[in-house]
Amino acid sequence: MLELERLTKLFEEGKITRRTFLSTASALGLTAAISPALLSKPAHAEGKVIKIGGAVPLTGPVAYWGISTMQGWVDGAAVINEKGGIDIGGEKHMLEIITYDTKGTVADARAATTRLVEQDQVKYVFSQAAASTIGMLQITEPAKVISVVACWGYLKIYGKDYPYHFRAEMSDYEQGYAYIPFMQEHYGKDKLKSAAFIGPDDQDGIDCNYSYKRLMEYYGIKDLGVEYFNWEDTDFYPIVTKTLKSNPDFIVTSPSPPGITASIVKAAREMGYKGPISSPAASETKTILEVAGEYAHDVVLPVTCVEPVTDSQKAIKARFIKRFGDFNALAGNYSWWIYGLVAAIEKAGTFEDTKAVADAMATVVLEDTYVGKVTWEGQNSFGIRRQGVYDCYTTLIENGKARLADVRYPELPDTY
Amino acid sequence: MALDELTQMTLTGINLGLMYALIAIGLTLIFGIMRIIQYAHGEFYMLGAYVLYYWAAVLKLPYWVGIIVSAAVIFVVGAALQLLLFRPLHGKNILYSLAVSMGLIFIISSGGLLTFGTIVKGIPSVVTGGVMVFGAFYTYERMVISIVSAGLILGLWYFLQRTTTGMAMRAVSQDPEVSSLQGINTRRIHWIAFGMGSAMAAVAGCLMGTLLSIVPTMGFIATVKAFMIVILGGLGSVPGALIGGLIIGFIDSFVTTLVSADVAYIIGFATIFVILAFKPTGLFGQDWD
Amino acid sequence: MTENTKVAAGVWLIAIAFAFLLPVICSYDKYILHVGITIAFNIALATSMWLIWTLGFISFAHAGFMGIGAYTSALLFTGLGWSLWVNMWLAAAVAGLMAFVISIPLMRTRAVYFFMASWAVGEVIKRVFAYYRGIFGGWDGIFNIQPPKLVLPGLNIDFSSRVAYYYLALVCCGLIVYVIHRIVRSRTGMIYWSIHESEILAQHVGINVLKHKVIAFSTACALAGVTGALYAHYHTYINPKTFDIWQSEFSLVHIIVGGLNTLNGPVLGATLLTVVDELLRPTGWYRVIFFGVVVILTVLFLPGGLETVPARLRALVGKWRKRSD
pLDDT computed for residue B53 by the predictor: 93
Percentages of chain C per state (helix, strand, coil), in multiples of 5: 80, 5, 20
Of B119, B130, B217, the CB nearest to A284: B119
Q: Do C119 and B276 touch (CB under 8 A)?
A: no
Domain count, chain B: 1
Q: Do C284 and A112 touch (CB under 8 A)?
A: no
pLDDT in tens, B244-259: 999 999 988 888 878 8
Residue B285 domain-assigned? no
pLDDT computed for residue C144 by the predictor: 82
Probe site for chain B from A3, A4, A20, A21 (most B CB atoms < 10 A): A4
Probe site for chain C from B87, B113, B225, B262 (most C CB atoms < 10 A): B262
At B30, is the secondary structure helix, strand, or coil?
helix
**Could you give the C-alpha distances from C176 to A184, C51, C99, C227, C242, in angstroms and in order?**
63, 11, 18, 9, 21
Of A18, A230, A287, the CB nearest to B120: A287
- C-alpha triplet C89, C95, C98: angle, nearest 5°: 135
Q: Which residues of A touch C (CB under 8 A)?
A: 19, 22-23, 26, 29-30, 32-34, 36-37, 40, 58-59, 63, 67, 98-101, 105-107, 110-112, 114-115, 118-119, 134-135, 138, 156, 201-203, 206
Of C130, C281, C296, the CB nearest to A100: C281
Same CATH topology for A48-170+308-385 and A173-302+396-408: the answer is yes
Which of the residue ranges A111-125, B173-187, C227-241 would you say has the lowest mean pLDDT?
B173-187
**Could you give the C-alpha distances from B207 to A267, A271, B129, B156, B200, in angstroms and in order?**
16, 20, 17, 17, 11
pLDDT computed for residue A41 by the predictor: 42
pLDDT in tens, B93-108: 888 888 899 999 999 9
Residue B289 domain-assigned? no
Residue B93: give the domain boundaries.
3-278
pLDDT computed for residue B286 by the predictor: 63
pLDDT band at residue A8, thresholds of 50, 70 and 90?
low
Using the Cα atoms of residue B123, residue B128, residue B129 and residue B130 in order, give the sign of their dihedral. negative
Residues of C in contact with A114 (CB under 8 A): 30-31, 34
Q: Do C242 and A106 touch (CB under 8 A)?
A: yes
Cα Rg of chain B, angstroms? 19
Q: What is the pLDDT along chain C (325 residues), one digit of tens a residue?
A: 566 778 888 888 999 999 999 988 888 888 889 999 999 999 999 999 999 999 988 899 999 999 999 999 999 999 998 989 999 999 999 999 999 999 988 888 877 788 888 988 998 899 889 888 888 888 778 888 888 888 888 788 888 888 999 999 999 999 999 999 999 999 999 999 999 888 888 888 888 999 999 999 999 999 999 999 999 999 888 888 889 888 898 899 999 999 988 899 999 999 999 999 888 888 877 888 888 999 999 988 888 888 888 888 888 888 888 877 7
Probe site for chain B from C107, C113, C245 (most B CB atoms < 10 A): C113
Q: What is the CATH number of the domain that holds B100?
A: 1.10.3470
Using the Cα atoms of residue A369, residue A370, residue A375 and residue A376 in order, give the sign of their dihedral. negative
Q: Do C117 and B231 touch (CB under 8 A)?
A: yes
Highest mean pLDDT pick, A140-154, A218-232, A266-280, B64-78: B64-78
Q: Where are the alpha helices (DSSP H) in C186-239?
A: 187-197, 199-204, 209-235
C284 touches A at CB < 8 Å: yes
- What's domain A173-302+396-408's superfamily in CATH? Response regulator (3.40.50.2300)
C81 touches A at CB < 8 Å: no
Residue A390, strand partner residues: A374
Residues of A in contact with B13 (CB under 8 A): none
Of B119, B221, B262, the CB nearest to A328: B119
Q: Taking Cα atoms as reference points, which of C53, C225, C74 lies closest to residue C142?
A: C74
Residues of C in contact with A42 (CB under 8 A): none
C256 touches B at CB < 8 Å: yes
Residue B288 domain-assigned? no
Is the distance from CB of C218 to CB of C37 less than 8 angstroms?
Answer: no
Q: CA C12, CA C15: separation in Å to the nearest integer?
A: 5
Domain spans, chain A: 2-34, 48-170+308-385, 173-302+396-408
Q: Do C58 and B95 touch (CB under 8 A)?
A: yes
pLDDT of residue A165 exceeding 90:
yes
pLDDT computed for residue B202 by the predictor: 95
Sheet containing A387-390, strands listed edge to edge, beginning at the edge strand earlier in sequence: A86-88, A91-101, A48-56, A124-128, A146-150, A165-167, A387-390, A372-377, A366-369
Q: Give every CB contact of residue B151 below 8 A, 6+ residues apart in sequence.
A: none
Is the distance from CB of B187 to CB of B179 less than 8 angstroms?
Answer: no
Q: Taking Cα atoms as reference points, which of B276, C18, B260, C286 lies closest to residue A58?
A: C286
Of B103, B265, B282, the CB nearest to C292: B103
At A304, give phi and psi (nearest 5°). Answer: -130, 110
Q: Do A238 and B12 touch (CB under 8 A)?
A: yes
Q: Do C120 and B99 touch (CB under 8 A)?
A: no
Chains that touch A (3 or more CB pairs under 8 A): B, C
Nearest CA in chain B to A11: B83
pLDDT of residue B289 exceeding 60:
no
Residues of B in contact with C299 (CB under 8 A): 89, 96, 99-100, 103
Q: Do C295 and B100 touch (CB under 8 A)?
A: yes
Chains that touch B (3 or more CB pairs under 8 A): A, C
C157: closest CA of chain B, how far (Å)? 42
Q: Do C256 and B95 touch (CB under 8 A)?
A: yes
CATH code for residues C3-324: 1.10.3470
Which of the residue ranges A193-202, A230-239, B227-236, C8-17 would you say has the lowest mean pLDDT?
A230-239
Residues of B in contact with C64 (CB under 8 A): none
C321 touches A at CB < 8 Å: no
Q: CA A140, CA A9: separation in Å to the nearest integer?
A: 60
Mean pLDDT of A288-292: 86
Of B110, B228, B280, the CB nearest to C285: B110
Nearest CA in chain A to B187: A8
pLDDT computed for residue A177 by the predictor: 94
Probe site for chain A from B75, B83, B118 (most A CB atoms < 10 A): B118
User: For all residues of chain A together, what is the average pLDDT?
Assistant: 85
Of C140, C281, C283, the CB nearest to A36: C283
B83: closest CA of chain A, how far (Å)? 7
Q: Which residue has the higher pLDDT, A90 or A12?
A: A90
Q: Do B88 and A18 touch (CB under 8 A)?
A: yes
pLDDT computed for residue A23 by the predictor: 53
C144 touches A at CB < 8 Å: no
pLDDT computed for residue A78 by the predictor: 93
At B115, is the secondary structure helix, strand, or coil?
helix
Q: CA C53, CA C42: separation in Å to the nearest integer?
A: 16
Q: CA B44, CA B57: separation in Å to the nearest integer?
A: 19
A336: closest CA of chain C, how far (Å)? 23
- The DSSP call for residue C307 is G
Q: Do A201 and B118 touch (CB under 8 A)?
A: no
Residue B266 domain-assigned? yes
Probe site for chain C from B39, B101, B115, B231 (most C CB atoms < 10 A): B231
Give the right CATH number for A48-170+308-385 from 2.60.40.180, 3.30.420.40, 3.40.50.300, 3.40.50.2300.
3.40.50.2300
Residues of C in contact with B105 (CB under 8 A): 292
Of C110, C249, C293, the CB nearest to B102: C249
Residues of C in contact with A134 (CB under 8 A): 237
Of B16, B252, B261, the CB nearest to A229: B261
Q: Which residue has the higher pLDDT, A8 or A92?
A: A92
Q: Do A119 and C29 touch (CB under 8 A)?
A: yes
pLDDT of residue A159 exceeding 60:
yes
- The DSSP call for residue C148 is P
Q: CA A204, CA C239: separation in Å to the nearest integer?
A: 14
pLDDT of residue A34 exceeding 80:
no
pLDDT of residue A150 exceeding 70:
yes
Which of the residue ranges A24-38, B31-45, B212-226 would you say has the lowest mean pLDDT?
A24-38
Is the distance from CB of B46 to CB of B216 less than 8 angstroms?
Answer: yes
Q: Do A238 and B117 touch (CB under 8 A)?
A: no
